[in-house]
Amino acid sequence: MQYRDEPAAMTGAQAVAGLLGDTPQRDYTEKLRLFNAFARPELREAIDALAVGAGERVLDAGCGTGEAVGWFHESARNRALVVGMDLAAAHVRIARRSAPTQAPILQADMLRPPLADGSFDVVWAVNSINHLHDPVAGVRVLSKLLRPGGRLVVGQSSLLPDMYFAWDARLEQRVNDAVRAYYRERYGRSEHEFTAVRALVGWLQASGLPQVAVRTRMIERTQPLAEADERYLRDAIFRGTWGERLRPYLHPGDFDTLARLCDPDDARYALRRPDFHFLQSLTMAVATKA
């Protein structure tokens, strides 16, 4: 494995925040860990479907807290070399503790990876390319790291609207609109910039990778919920993504209804309803380098 010289610190252009505010100093480890525990079955299935062989080299670009690095090792029966890479120092610290000891975990900007071109058989980038101002540029950089015949896997959750309240589609739509309004105001971004994430196939084709296969899995949860499912929905979504921050963007009556559905101490708490039914899409686009 060859590495380019890695800068001692990220300064200047390297420290510019990503589309969603990412910097080397940003830390959302808890949300990442909650999602990985929640979506573990579907992510593991997608990794196993790649059938990484003995001796192959895998890069997890935007590895977050490192769980997928370990899953790749297990899927390949510890016969592959798996490297993790993330921008945030806090994520890298956690990943180095959670990933197998033999897995290198690098702190680096995805657009400036300290890795030699043609080094990998598989590059895995899930819920990470959408954080870039220019996703096509990111795909081009990652594709250079592949050997001929190597595969770039770009994954994204929620290309389709998630279903939280199967019994109240109107409230669900209002909440989704409120979330988009909040993020537009917080990051100063247009609606187009946030919805462009649905163009996974187009990003890959625009990067010169025309051989693209796509598979969408549904993350589907009903009662009874596993502990990891409830923790993610309650803490990452109900409290972290929604909560008080949405009050200015919702009609008072809708906000009151939402607050009660999200409150574990309320009799109407959504996650205890016997008819609770959650759906979230997880799309994987796999491009093969000629």
Backbone angles phi, psi at 150, to 5 degrees: -75, 160
In a domain, 97, yes or no: yes
Give Cβ neighbours of residue 27 (< 8 Å, ≥ 6 apart).
88, 90, 91
Domain limits at 266?
169-188+221-278
Q: Which of 233, 23, 19, 14 is nearest to 112 (CA)?
A: 14
In a domain, 52, yes or no: yes
If asked whether residues 62 and 153 sit together in one domain, one would say yes
If asked whether residues 152 and 236 sit together in one domain, one would say no
If asked whether residues 130 and 173 sit together in one domain, one would say no
Give Cβ neighbours of residue 134 (< 8 Å, ≥ 6 apart).
none
Asked if 212 contacts 287 with a C-beta cutoff of 8 angstroms, the reply is yes
- Helices 29-38 and 89-98: angle between axes, nearest 10 degrees: 40
In a domain, 49, yes or no: yes
The CATH code of the domain that includes 141 is 3.40.50.150
Report pLDDT for 2: 59
In a domain, 145, yes or no: yes
- Partners of 285 in the β-ladder: 154, 214
If asked whether residues 138 and 183 sit together in one domain, one would say no
Question: In angstroms, rounded to a whole number, what is the distance separating the alpha carbons of residues 287 and 214?
Answer: 9
In a domain, 20, yes or no: yes
Residue showing tokens 């770039």: 152
Report pLDDT for 17: 64
Strand 81-86 relative to strand 57-61, pairing: parallel
Asked if 200 contacts 156 with a C-beta cutoff of 8 angstroms, the reply is yes
**The residue type at 6:** E
Q: What is the pTM of this model?
A: 0.92
If asked whether residues 175 and 67 sit together in one domain, one would say no
What is the number of structural domains in the chain?
2
In a domain, 57, yes or no: yes
Question: In angstroms, rounded to a whole number, what is the distance separating the alpha carbons of residues 33 and 227?
Answer: 13
If asked whether residues 252 and 155 sit together in one domain, one would say no
In a domain, 18, yes or no: yes
If asked whether residues 233 and 253 sit together in one domain, one would say yes
If asked whether residues 252 and 194 sit together in one domain, one would say no
If asked whether residues 114 and 235 sit together in one domain, one would say no
If asked whether residues 119 and 40 sit together in one domain, one would say yes
Strand ranges (E), 127-176: 146-157
Distances (CA, A) of 228 to 36, 37, 223, 238, 287: 9, 6, 13, 14, 31
Report pLDDT for 16: 53
DSSP string, 189-248: --HHHHHGGG-HHHHHHHTT---EEEEEEEEEEESSPPHHHHHIIIIIIIIIIIGGGGGG
If asked whether residues 41 and 175 sit together in one domain, one would say no
Question: In angstroms, rounded to a whole number, what is the distance separating the alpha carbons of residues 61 and 153?
Answer: 10
Report pLDDT for 3: 56
If asked whether residues 57 and 184 sit together in one domain, one would say no
Report pLDDT for 4: 58
Mean pLDDT by 10 residues, the chain (290 residues): 49 55 92 98 98 98 98 97 97 97 96 97 96 94 97 96 97 96 87 81 94 97 98 98 97 98 98 98 97
